[in-house]
Structure 1
Amino acid sequence: MRLFLVLMSLFSASMAACSQQVQPPIEIALDYNFVHTNAPPAGCSCFTMQGGGGAVLWNLSPHFEPMFKASDTQASAINGTSSNLNLTSYLFGARSGLPVRHWFRPYGEAAVGVAHATGSMISLQGYGPSQNVFAATVGGGLLIDVTPRIAIQAVQADYYLATVPNGVNGHQNNLLVTAGVVLRFGERH
């Protein structure tokens, strides 16, 4: 976490000299989520989960946005079995971006928080019907401005760590891919 904060500070400081259009102070993102996960124990009995989510971001400066993200993804009939899994996450973190053009903005972000896992896959491991576990994401994406108030989140790809009990090592190394729309609100004074 310290490394992330140091890197974000250095990136923000180096970008301070760059000019950027003034953005409204609040962004709300609504998105579709696709997760490729390895939750079953032993090897990669990988499967996919799908769902949706959202985020609220506060533009403190042109290059630093604290955020809160929530998402819910589900999988059923995992690997041809009757097992299912629901993973709901609540994460806090920060995003930093730099516009290449006034309408095109790549960014990086990191967040940590809690994931709530439910479903028969959790019960089959002998851990009860649900678990609250540590979760974290780190990655980046691309925003394309449609208007000053609306942007398309063309793609975001994150490493998504969840520590759901699995009978082996208690963590999953997931790939989270997101796409959606971003709405901007408020006026900067």
Structure 2
Amino acid sequence: MKLRFIVSLLALVTVFGLATQAQELPKIDASVSYSYLRANPATSGVGGFNLNGGSASASYNFRDWLGGVADFGGYHVGSANGVNVDNHVTTYLFGPRFTYRNSRRITPFAHVLLGTARTGAGIFATSRSHTEFATAFGAGVDWNVRDRFSIRPLQFDYLLTHFPEVTNGNNQTQNNLRVSTGIVFHFK
């Protein structure tokens, strides 16, 4: 009887130990994404234009629902509104990420990021490059394919920038949209 109890207890501890190990929270999530950026100048009469590029981010998970993220992106435009500009925008953003980990397959998240954006001369800027304050409010979803690998089918970000614009040279607020898709690696 005593041996049966000990064997049962060991089996129970082993099963719960494996289940706990399978649900272990990754400490770092690293992603690489393709990004589409729809730039919307604030100056009336100037239409929005498209930039294509990529972004990389790393998130350190403090809790199962809270992490700190660093997001770096680079986007290129060849022509804007029929004008050849061949230029770029880069972003350097940091902030908290809130994650809902209730499903083994789907992991939605939201974040608030603050940092800077840099543009070359000729996009928003007057005649030279500018580095200005930027903010991103966004959300997305990860599809967990394996324990250490996910696909990020969709991430949306409202990217707020404050570049000077060509018409008046003063800083204006640009309301931009960033849509990304990519892959995520989980490190425990």
Q: TM-score, normalising length from structure 2?
A: 0.81
Match in the other structure for 2:114: 112
| Mapped pair 1:161 → 2:163 | no
Identity of aligned residues (%): 26
8 Å CA contact 1:22, 1:62 repeated in 2: no
Higher-Rg member (1/2): 2
How far apart in 1 are the matches of 2:102 and 2:45?
41
Cα distance change on mapping 1:42 and 1:77 into 2, 3 Å: same
Q: Could you tell me which of 178, 183, 187 is aligned with 2:180?
A: 178
Aligned to 1:36: 38
User: How much is the aligned-residue C-alpha RMSD, in angstroms?
Assistant: 2.0
**Paired residue for 1:144?**
143
Q: Does 1:85 align with 2:87?
A: yes
**CA apart distance, 1:129:** 2.0
- Aligned partners of 2:29 and 2:111: how far apart in 1? 15
Q: Give runs of aligned pairs for residues 53-68 of structure 1, distance below 5 A.
A: 53-68=55-70
- Indicate if the aligned counterparts of 2:163 and 2:171 stay in contact, CA closer than 8 A: no
Give deviations 1:78-127, integer Å, cap 9, x for gaps: 1111224311010111111113421101111110001111132355x2xx
Q: Structure 1: how far apart are the matches of 2:105 and 2:142?
A: 8
- Extract unaligned runs of 5+ from structure 1: 1-18
* Structure 2 counterpart of 1:153, one-letter code: R
Task: Read off the aligned partner of 2:77 and give its amino acid letter.
Answer: A
Amino acid at match of 2:149: I
| Cα separation, 1, equivalents of 2:83 and 2:177 | 22
